[in-house]
Amino acid sequence: MTTHRELAARLIRDGEGVVKVGGVHVVYDDATGKPIRAGDTLVGNPTIGYGRNLAGKGLEDDEAEALLAVDLVDCEETARAFVGPVVWLALSDARRAVLIDMAMMGAPKLYGFVRLKAAIQRQDWAAAAAEIEDSAYFRQVKRRGVRNRDIMLTGHVTVAGIPAEEWGE
């Protein structure tokens, strides 16, 4: 027997529809039904999935954490592929974490750090840190860039103000 929640879910899926690009749910303008791209002017509300109004309801903490968990898996795959599996295994956990964090900007942008990749592969941490600092990414993300540069240089998160005992070192 169908419950009221299952029936409501069917009604919402039917009434709201979804907007997908390449099989993936994307944020769309609920007034036009068109995907939102950077710089677009909205007519309605930014919406995702089956009518989730991001401007009105947003995300609860548990929903944001669930999305982060999925993103971490994707970003780790991107970061590992960026430097290669052998180099990846040789990196400290802190340096791996920096690459995963940087992969949040997307694979194409991370893969644009060609000199960073080369510096990491030859374990030249000063050069790797300099490549992070000498980038539009660094200037855009400010404190995050400083933190990631410092961690890449030292291989330790303690530089970022996180005590070693909390990091597991």
Q: What is the pLDDT of residue 119?
A: 98
In degrees rounded to 5, what are phi and psi of residue 165?
Answer: -65, -30
Correct CATH for 61-167 of 1.10.132.20, 2.60.40.2380, 1.10.530.40, 3.90.480.20: 1.10.530.40
pLDDT in tens, 31-73: 999 999 999 999 999 999 988 999 988 889 999 999 999 999 9
Q: What is the pTM assigned to this prediction?
A: 0.81
Q: In the predicted model, what is the mean pLDDT of residues 69-91?
A: 97
List the domain boundaries for the chain: 4-53, 61-167
Q: What is the pLDDT of residue 167?
A: 53
Cα within 13 Å of Cα(160), Cβ side: 23
Q: What is the pLDDT of residue 166?
A: 61
Neighbours of 149 (CB within 10 A): 21
pLDDT in tens, 118-166: 999 999 999 999 999 999 999 999 989 999 999 999 998 865 566 655 6
Q: Helices marked H in 17-113 — which ranges?
A: 61-83, 85-90, 93-103, 107-111
For residue 169, name the pLDDT band (cuts at 50, 70, 90).
Answer: very low
In degrees rounded to 5, what are phi and psi of residue 46?
Answer: -70, 125
Write down the mean pLDDT value for the chain.
Answer: 91
Cα gap 166→157, rounded to integer Å: 10
For residue 1, name the pLDDT band (cuts at 50, 70, 90).
Answer: confident
Q: In the predicted model, what is the mean pLDDT of residues 78-104?
A: 96
